[in-house]
A = this chain, B = another copy of it.
Amino acid sequence: MKLTSKGRYAVMALVDLARFDNINPVSLRDISLRQGISLDFLEQIFSKLRKNEIVQSVRGTQGGYILNKKAKEIKLTNIFDAVDEKVKTVQCKKESKKGCNGKSTKCLTHNLWDELENHINNFFKEKSLEDLVKDNNERRI
């Protein structure tokens, strides 16, 4: 079980952005340089973030991206949802009718994975972008 780069980079890029946001739009080029993330990959990610109304784009020279909400209101859940980072512990849930093994009953551990998913998602729901920025500023002092 591990996190994918897409999700990790999305969060990193947004933390970077959130730190400069109140001044000017931040260009992906800058984020790419500062965070060491491929520009092309960032574009893919930000395309999704924009569609999910987490950021706004500003075109033209001196353009870039700005947050679409306050950092406090952007939770990790929102970010992961936007870039299709899913916490998926188990297959069983896709098929609505059938049970987990193609059998009619739930698998022995069905409830467990449910609990685990909730446990992880709670963590993501509580944590906001603001928390991360703060955490970072404290470390820099």
Chain A interface category by residue count = 35 or more
**A3–B101 alpha-carbon span in the complex (Å):** 16
Contacts of A115 in B (CB 8 A): 123
Query: Does chain B have a CB within 8 A of A89?
Result: yes
CB distance from A72 to the nearest CB of B (A): 16
> How many copies of this protein are present in the complex?
2
Identity of the chain B residue whose Cβ is nearest the Cβ of A107 in the assembled complex: B12
**A36–B103 alpha-carbon span in the complex (Å):** 9
8 A Cβ contacts from A1-17 to B: 1-4, 7-8, 11-12, 15-16
Residue pair B132, A112 in contact (C-beta under 8 Å): yes
Please judge, given known A-B contacts A109-B12, A136-B108, whether A36 and B1 are in contact too, CB under 8 Å: no
Query: Does chain B have a CB within 8 A of A44?
Result: no
Residue pair B112, A11 in contact (C-beta under 8 Å): yes
8 A Cβ contacts from A90-118 to B: 90, 101-103, 106-109, 111-113, 115-116
Residue pair B1, A7 in contact (C-beta under 8 Å): yes
**A127–B119 alpha-carbon span in the complex (Å):** 13
**Which of A106, A107, A111 has the largest count of B CB atoms less than 10 A from its CB?**
A107
